[in-house]
Structure 1
Amino acid sequence: ISTYWTTNYDDLIEKALDNEGKIADKKFTKNHLSQTKKGRSAVVYKMHGDASLPDQAIITKDQYESYPLHFAPFVTALSGDLVSKTFLFLGFSFNDPNLDYILSRIRIHFEQNQRQHYCIFKRVNRADYSNDEDFSYNLLKQQFVIKDLARFSIKVVLIDAWNDLTRILEEITKRFRCKNVFLSGSAHEFGSWGQTATELFLSKLGEVLIQEGFKITSGLGLGIGNAFISGAIKEIYNRKYTKIDDYLTMKVFPQFVADPTERKNIWTAWRKDLLSQTGIALFFMGNKIVKDPESGKQTIVLADGMDEEFHIAHELGLKLIPIGASGYKAKELFNQIISDFDHYYPDSTPKFREAFEKLNEEVDEPVKLLSKIHDVIKLI
């Protein structure tokens, strides 16, 4: 979310953004509107002022009535956002005369072409009232408010308890992030498929995901990442007027950290940062070469970094898709999910489980996995 509007004077929104490592550009005076904070992540418009300047807060009836005159730039900015952005109103009673004034002007100008907005209300509940008369009055009042807001193209969603609000916001976040796919994997050896066929498959997978409108995030895993993002980049450039940044995030793991403990900590933080932006994690192959410091002998082992990415992704609530047919660590992770499928995919349909299990079926060439991966992602 890049834009917040609030009539509150407190700094809870700014603190929440700060806790997520984001820079908030606060605007609560007219002069703030003409300034831009460098590196900002979100703009927070505080249309009735801020607690740090209590003498300038909008709080009296006179101030409300003269607001369109004295704070015309805020009215213009809010009007522009209501026309061009989708709003989700939370904890808002719609008794604010300033907003009522702005919404009325927009409705007059745009009539049937208003932007669709949303609002969440707690349903009027009999248990909250001491008698039937008060309950009936407030129920009718809520129904009239809902009908009135429909004139401004604001759809009201009713919930039974405030806890439902948290769950709704979490679900919106998950669905939004599911348009961003992370590929976890590494390969020093490529099994019976061979390097050429594997790289062709990865390139095609990158192309298909971009064609389907997904964004791709990659840490450029050894032997895996380059082919994957190459296919994605090729498809992006084939699209006219498309920017790389809109579809692709690449963050190479920092290699030159001498201290092993420090390097491990940095890589863990790096993985959390990458995965927190995504909603689906694909796991492919997962092997690496290690060298015995005494004998100098090289051995192929399963990639332990992929294990960590799997656990972080699970903690963050990502949809986990290990491609078991690719073998190595991905095969191990696939078996782990299948052995406790309801834990990783609660309330999944038989159709989804059937599609998921096909990811473990052996194929003579990896390109045959494309349709199977596509089916699973589509069902998600």
Structure 2
Amino acid sequence: MSRNRTRFLKEFPKAISDENAAVFIGAGVSVGAGYPSWKELLREIGDELGVKSDDVYDLAALAQWSVSDTGGATRIRQVIRDQIAVDHDIPAPLNILARMPIRHLWTTNYDRLIERALLAIRRPCSVISAQGDLALKVTAGAARVYKMHGTVDQLDEIVISTDDYELFRSRRGAFLPLLQAHLSSFSMLFLGLSFTDPNLRHVLSLIRESFTDAPPAHFAIVRPPQKGDFRSAEEFEARLAQHNLWAKDLQRYGLFAIEIEDYDEVPGLLAEVERRVARNRVWISGSWPLDEATTPEVSFVHDVAERVGGVVGSSGLTLVSGSGLLVGSGSMSGFLSSLQKTGAWDLERRLIVRPFPQPIEGGEPDRAQWDLLRAELARLAGHVVFIGGLKAEAGALVDSSGVHAERAIAQAKGAYLLPIGATGGAAATIAAELIGSDLRFDGPDALRPSDEQLASLGDASVGAAELANRVLKILKSRML
């Protein structure tokens, strides 16, 4: 299982960066947010039928018994509406997943947690909950939420009873080829699944149908049964044995189980995935006063920015930029030139730009808006390269307070700080502060280069091309 975790942390972030990842959200995520489990959801229905839902293994059959007993699904839909059509707090795992560039999110849950997590950060999403929705055009650039068993907003379409499962192919079969295509071409993370989930056998059968000789690796974060979950040691041992056999059997479907002791571990595990995705993104931060644009120093700074942007592009990394007039434009120019040379015009995925709105002459910038943009850039990027960082103030050149603010935000977010001290300004100040500092400089959790590397980036005599090569060497050592 530890090997599975290592493989997951290596392969799934890369799949996300390459836009070859999808997620399947199971009932456990909703239960963790406060929604009832299947047994709890159907307890009232069972009581009405004189059956304890805890004693029924096939809960879809229990729902079917209610439909047959009452002559329709009105009663069970009423129970679902009362218990699911409420807004519980969005759990941390969904907030993290919503922030990552994952376009396809599948679920068998009826609640609105996934779409609420996306909308909370103003990320557009297209909810596909009925077979007819698959024919509709989705919002360009939106995340797609496939609710293959329906949604609480359309109770007449939900899958709950034995009839619904047996007639799935005729009523909702258009979901199947799409899910199978995603299982065949994407690496999929299953979150919140349990071998007691009545939907699981349905999903696993679809995986089996789409299985190829060399499928992409799929992963499932699962929690083994714990002693405190059961009334007796015998019941715990029996359930644990079932779980272990089930987890091992998942590999038959190309699924690798990542076991956790407690659901509280999930946010940390997903946050590590997010950090590793961010490692493929480089934010180039810097500035230079335009009044000084004719000095030799500005030519050097622009040359360094352009060459660093070029090595970011040629190494397959993503450029993050605030689109400044000198450092920003120089880095983007080098980045685009490198893509032109390779023919890899992949701008939608590999260039993330958040231009800072500039005030009209004599006006003041919107500092609050700038702070929000800086926070977003710091969240997106795992590495921040500082180039230059000067401004004119009272007739003198001083360190840019904006670049120092970006350093503080990036450091608070856990980004790797990479100042090119040879370019002067705030970059030189940051480099001097990092040399000998307590920030870690070795291992996968490093937050800065070593003192020797920082010193090498402070040597302007080697020229812009060599400084860019040294930056590239450091970045390559940290790539996924």
Report the TM range for the smaller structure's normalisation: 0.7 to 0.9
Q: CA deviation at 1:192?
A: 10
Equivalents in 1 of 2:237, 2:266: separation in Å? 24
**1:55-85 Cα deviation digits (max 9, x unpaired):** 3221112211221221111122211221122
Look up the equivalent residue of 2:139 and give its one-letter code: K
Q: Distance in 1 between matches of 2:280 and 2:110?
A: 35
Name the structure 1 match of 2:274. Answer: 173
Distance 2:362 2:374 in 1: 18
Residue matched to 2:372:
269
Residue in structure 1 matched with residue 151 of structure 2 by the alignment: 50
Render the CA deviation track for 1:174-208: whole Å, top value 9, x for unaligned.
Answer: 11111111111012459997333433332222221
C-alpha separation in 2, matches of 1:136 and 1:243: 52
Q: CA deviation at 1:128?
A: 4.2
- Deviation at residue 218 of structure 1 after TM alignment: 1.6
Which among 284, 298, 319 is matched to residue 195 of structure 1? 298
Structure 1 residue aligned with 2:322: 219
**More off after superposition, 337-346 vs 197-206:** 337-346
CA distance 1:360–1:162, change in 2 (3 Å): same
Is residue 89 of structure 1 aligned with residue 190 of structure 2?
A: yes
Q: Write the letter of the residue equivalent to 2:410.
A: A
Among all aligned residue pairs of Structure 1 and Structure 2, give the percentage whose two residues are the same amino acid.
Answer: 25
Which residue number in structure 1 is paired with residue 209 of structure 2? 105
For 1:162 and 1:221, locate their aligned partners in 2 and report how far apart those are by CA, in whole Å: 43
Q: Distance in 2 between matches of 1:241 and 1:334?
A: 33
The residue type paired with residue 303 of structure 1 is: S
* Contact 1:24-1:43 within 8 A present in 2 as well: yes
Quote the offset at 1:130 in angstroms.
Answer: 4.8
Paired residues of 1:25 and 1:37 also in contact (CA < 8 A): yes
**Following TM superposition, by how much is the alpha carbon of 1:127 offset from its aligned partner in structure 2, in angstroms?**
4.9
Task: Answer yes or no: is 1:68 the counterpart of 2:172.
Answer: no
Return the alpha-carbon distance in structure 1 between the equivalents of residues 127 and 447 of structure 2. Answer: 49
Distance 1:362 1:190 in 2: 22
Offset of residue 53 of structure 1: 1.9
Q: CA, structure 1 residues 138+259, in 2 after alignment: closer, same or farther (shift >3 Å)?
A: farther
- Note if 1:332 corresponds to 2:433: no
Distance 1:264 1:25, change over 3 A: same
Cα deviation, residue 153, structure 1: 0.5
Structure 2 counterpart of 1:22: 123
Q: Check whether the contact 1:331–1:360 (CA below 8 A) recurs between aligned residues.
A: no
Runs (5+) with no aligned partner, structure 2: 1-101
Offset of residue 345 of structure 1? 8.1
Superposition CA RMSD, Å: 2.9
Conservation of the 8 A alpha-carbon contact between 1:236 and 1:247: no
Equivalent pair of 1:25/1:40 in contact (CA under 8 Å): no
Give 2:260's aligned residue: 159
Distance 1:77 1:252, change over 3 A: same
TM-superposed deviation, 1:360: 5.4
Distance 1:184 1:352 in 2: 17
- The match for 1:236 is 339
Quickly say closer, same or farther: Cα 1:351–1:302, change in 2 above 3 A: closer
Matches within 5 A, 1:293-372: 298-338=395-435, 340-342=437-439, 353-359=450-456, 361-367=458-464, 368-372=466-470
CA distance in 1, matches of 2:300, 2:399: 21
Aligned 8 A contact 1:182 1:278 in 2: yes
SS of the aligned residue for 1:87 comes to strand
Alpha-carbon separation, structure 2, partners of 1:182 and 1:231: 14
Q: What is the aligned partner in structure 2 of residue 183 from structure 1?
A: 284
Does the CA contact (< 8 Å) of 1:190 and 1:198 recur in 2? no
Contact kept? 1:177, 1:277, Cα under 8 Å: yes
Tell me, yes or no, if the aligned pair for 2:312 and 2:318 is still in contact at 8 Å: yes
Cα deviations by residue, 1:123-178 (Å, 9 ceiling, x for unpaired): 34445445443333222212211222111101111112212211110010111111
Q: Whose relative contact order is higher, 1 or 2, with alpha carbons under 8 Å and at least 6 apart?
A: 2
Partner of 1:295: none
Aligned-partner Cα distance in 1 for 2:374–2:346: 24
Distance across 1 between alignment mates of 2:113 and 2:349: 30
Asked if the contact 1:193–1:366 (Cα under 8 Å) also holds between the matched residues in 2, the reply is: no
Q: Provide the C-alpha distance between the structure 2 equivalents of 1:369 and 1:121, rounded to a whole number of angstroms.
A: 46
Paired position in structure 1 for 2:12: none
**TM-score, scaled to structure 2:** 0.70
1:12-66 deviations in whole A, cap 9, x for unaligned?
1111001111111011111111112334520111111111122322111221122
Q: Secondary structure at the match of 2:241?
A: helix
